[in-house]
A and B are shown apart, each in its own frame.
Chain A
């Protein structure tokens, strides 16, 4: 199964078609289907304004799913999304209330908090060899504890800084929400990281066979820890953007992003076992999930129906292209 990392620039369209991961193609096909279904319910659905709005909403999930993708490519998982997102948001807002210096440093500070939490995850997974699932759960609990202590148990009161709001809600290019540009920049950076750097090669290698990468003389532990740290930073950045969007942080703002982030990455063709997947797929997965959620709300499906349809759609799509091979020798 070829993956998009080996695509060289300047190859023809035919080559592109040959190398396209069927999963990614499926995901985009499903997006088209969803768009058609949505347009049946509301003529507005296919309007550029609405689609850009959807892209904006997708951007927040997109930034978070990017971090999740890095971790899943390694063959691990990160369950600390809920409270790392919230920590990023709350800490950025907290910094905003410290005068001009605070406002200027709010966004980096929020991201830094995420990076630190990611480092804890990374250290636990890479150096202490604790299963990622449980380390990240513990980090999530610790982050929650820290935020509860910080906020005194009350809802966060600090407001988002103007730069945060600018990133999340304003329009630098007329018509294109800033959030989308932010996602695009991050996406481009991650694609570069994954396809053109030694770090990216190491990530794919580790997801495939960490032993072989180690014996090839690469410090796999450092790579894993760094990847978790980047992921933590991205989760926190997602929280910063969300806080900018809502003008303030909220206690359980991150809860709604964990499972959709995992689902988006997997629906985009990235194998949950690691070592395989392209960022294009993650983009498709994020848009897919966002569209699905918005269609369900446009159709005014009651909450219970949304949950059921959400689950059924994910299972169906996975059955189409996410199946593991049969176990033989």
Chain B
């Protein structure tokens, strides 16, 4: 059937990211001193899942041909907020969780409003809003501290049936509940259309503003899930500028590794997740091969450079040099 071939063509990026991740993970696990057991997988998963959520958030914006430089700050802000309110009796905790998620969504909505109605370029608008969100995070937590509902934290960072990391399950659940319905909805498709060609989307009569607004709001929501999880892992809230910035920049790397085009219109959050997982595994590989930790940043940088250069291979097939220019 020719149909599956079209599906493959459409999902090129995601499949490649999946492949890269699987290869890296196999290398990692087969060389890990403890071998392939559930603890190894759990630790790896917990670290990677945080970046995966932020990468998903970034994907939503990138597919609309934008970029969100505040996504790491929403992550940080919700972390600090969670360390205040996700605490206490089950009902209070539940409200706390909802409050955190609502805050993330609100941050995303503010980004969206400025970009859509203010007609500002996303890259500059989100530099500014990122500073605002970080300021709020800093106001909430000038010093690291706070706490979190420990039962909930343990449950969500532990293992289900003793084998499967709960964080992966939550990730999968978020994909099924948030990403899949979004990508198959008319508004979600409109968001892709906007990223692919905003002019054509307008001429086709698509609800451009609503689609973008939904994308930005959901993006904030996803980043806040990541922030929530950070609180579950660390049991504290911390407004660390470097960490927030790193998550933003790594999310861009994860998104590119995941086959999402920075020009918009193609790519899936699932690919970005694999990109995030692969990115995290790169760092772990060094530990496994007993490299001097001193060399880790350089190794990570070089691997990132090689990975993004892979796309340049397509250049060899270019026959009309005008295709170099978009």
* Chain A residues in the interface with B (C-beta under 8 A): 77, 79, 124, 128-131, 133-135, 137-146, 148-149, 152-153, 210-211, 214-215, 220, 252, 255, 259, 262-263, 266, 272-273, 302-312, 314-315, 318-319, 322-329
| A142 with B315: CB separation less than 8 A | no
Contact partners of A140 in chain B: CB under 8 A:
249, 301
A87 vs chain B, min Cβ distance (A): 12
B199 lies within 8 A of chain A by Cβ: yes
Q: Are A273 and B121 in contact (CB under 8 A)?
A: yes
In chain B, positions 250-273 with a C-beta closer than 8 Å to chain A are 252-253, 256, 262-263
- Contacts A145-B297, A215-B322, A255-B242 known; list 7 others, CB within 8 Å: A124-B309, A142-B298, A143-B301, A259-B131, A311-B133, A326-B119, A327-B208
- Which chain A positions have C-beta within 8 A of B131? 259, 307-308, 310-311, 314
State the CA gap A139–B308 with chains docked (Å).
11
Partner of B130 from the list A137, A145, A146, A311 (CB cut-off 8 Å) is A311
Is B94 among interface residues, defined by CB-CB distance under 8 A?
Answer: no
**Is B25 close to A, CB under 8 A?**
no
Residue of A142, A215, A266, A311 with most chain B CB atoms under a 10 A cut-off = A311
Measured CB to CB, the closest approach of chain A to B229, in angstroms, equals 24
A327 to chain B, nearest CB (A): 5
Q: Which size bracket describes the interface of B in this complex?
A: 35 or more
B134 near A: Cβ within 8 Å? yes
Is B299 among interface residues, defined by CB-CB distance under 8 A?
Answer: yes
* Min distance, Cβ A10 to any Cβ of chain B, angstroms: 36
Could you pull out 7 A-B pairs where Cβ atoms are within 8 angstroms?
A: A141-B297, A255-B245, A262-B124, A262-B127, A303-B142, A311-B129, A322-B121
B123 at the interface (CB under 8 A from A): yes
User: Is the pair B294, A149 in contact by a Cβ cutoff of 8 Å?
Assistant: yes
Point out the residue from B114, B135, B325 that lies within 8 Å of A304, measured CB to CB.
B135
CB-nearest residue of chain B to A265 = B124
Instruction: State A144–B305 Cα separation when bound (angstroms).
Output: 13
Q: Does B125 contact A (CB under 8 A)?
A: yes
Residue ID in chain B nearest A141 by CB atoms = B301
Q: How far is the CA of A211 from the CA of B326 in the complex (A)?
A: 8
Q: If A148-B297, A308-B131 touch, does A141 touch B304 (CB 8 Å cutoff)? A: yes
- Contacting pair B121 A131 (CB below 8 A): no
Instruction: Type the 1/0 row for B109-127, where 1 means its CB is closer than 8 Å to any CB of A.
Output: 0000010001111011101
A134 touches B294 (CB 8 A): no
For A142, A220, A273, A305, the residue with the greatest tally of chain B CB atoms inside 10 Å of its CB is: A142
Q: Confirm or deny: B198 has a beta carbon within 8 angstroms of a beta carbon on chain A.
A: yes
Which listed residue (B134, B294, B321) contacts A307, Cβ 8 A? B134
Contact, CB under 8 Å: B132 / A307: yes
**Interchain CB contact under 8 A, B305 and A314:** no
B312 located at the interface, meaning its Cβ lies under 8 Å from any Cβ of chain A in the complex: yes
In contact, B125 and A142 (Cβ under 8 angstroms): no
Identify the closest chain B residue to A139 (Cβ). B305
Convert B32-74 into 0s and 1s, putting 1 for each residue whose CB lies closer than 8 angstroms to a CB of A: 0000000000000000000000000000000000010100000
Cα A129 to Cα B137 in complex, Å, equals: 38
Q: B139 within 8 Å of A by Cβ?
A: yes
Whether B121 pairs with A129 at a CB distance below 8 angstroms is no
A149 touches B249 (CB 8 A): no
Please report the C-alpha to C-alpha distance between residue A78 and residue B54 in the assembled complex, in whole angstroms.
22
Task: Give the top 9 A-B pairs by smallest Cβ distance, nearest first.
Answer: A145-B298, A141-B301, A307-B135, A311-B131, A308-B135, A311-B132, A142-B301, A304-B138, A128-B312
Structural contact, A308 and B308, CB atoms closer than 8 A: no
Whole-angstrom distance between the Cβ of B241 and the nearest chain A Cβ:
8
State whether the Cβ of B128 lies closer than 8 Å to any Cβ in chain A: yes
Q: What are the interface flags for B172-205 relative to A under an 8 Å C-beta threshold, 1 for contact and 0 otherwise?
A: 0000000000000000000000000011001100
Q: Are A148 and B67 in contact (CB under 8 A)?
A: no
